[in-house]
A and B are shown apart, each in its own frame.
Chain A
């Protein structure tokens, strides 16, 4: 596609429910990143994919968070048993190679609200 696409754009869920957030990177981009942006805060790194593997999961805040990437393309971030502190905007970015070599482009984000 023309840019990084994320869905849904907004999600309201009840505390304790599971949610899945989707990211479609730019076609051909091998690197994919998930970041979280809480209200009034900067971006917090969650996970990095190179192809289908995730060499760095160090930013995932708890074992309720997981992510996968299939076919070197679409990625899904899953949050189980959501808590109110999970409310944030979840941003996905992709780059042709690792971000160290090429620019990363961000999607519009998914705004998650846990009530």
Chain B
């Protein structure tokens, strides 16, 4: 059974700093999503990573996937307050289902 772990669970960082969120998973998979969730809101898709070595960037966020290490990272560059949210990775399990990590609650302090 696929298990997905994220760390850290909570992250408080100063504006302008860099940090990385990690997503480890237990069995082979080649598709992974990163989502953002604001309080009281639904999930917003940030990135989909479809192959080993895939790297996607949007603004201050960059996601990568290493299927051999079963690891994805979400790197934050020069954080700003607007990035405060909870970030989830979701790993494909079979052809139609995704298993979610527990989420990383990010708070960026001005």
Contacts and interface: CB of A to CB of B under 8 A. Distances in A.
A42 B101 contact: yes
B48 interface: yes
B97 A42 contact: no
Interface residues of B, number: 21
Contacts of B103: 41-42
Contact of A106 (B43, B92, B94, B95): B43
Given A35-B100, A43-B88, A99-B97, 12 more contacts: A42-B4, A42-B101, A43-B90, A43-B100, A48-B97, A50-B96, A98-B96, A99-B98, A100-B96, A104-B98, A106-B42, A108-B42
Interface of B: 4, 6, 31, 41-43, 45, 48, 88, 90, 92, 94-103
Interface of A: 31, 33, 35, 41-45, 48, 50, 56, 91, 98-100, 103-109
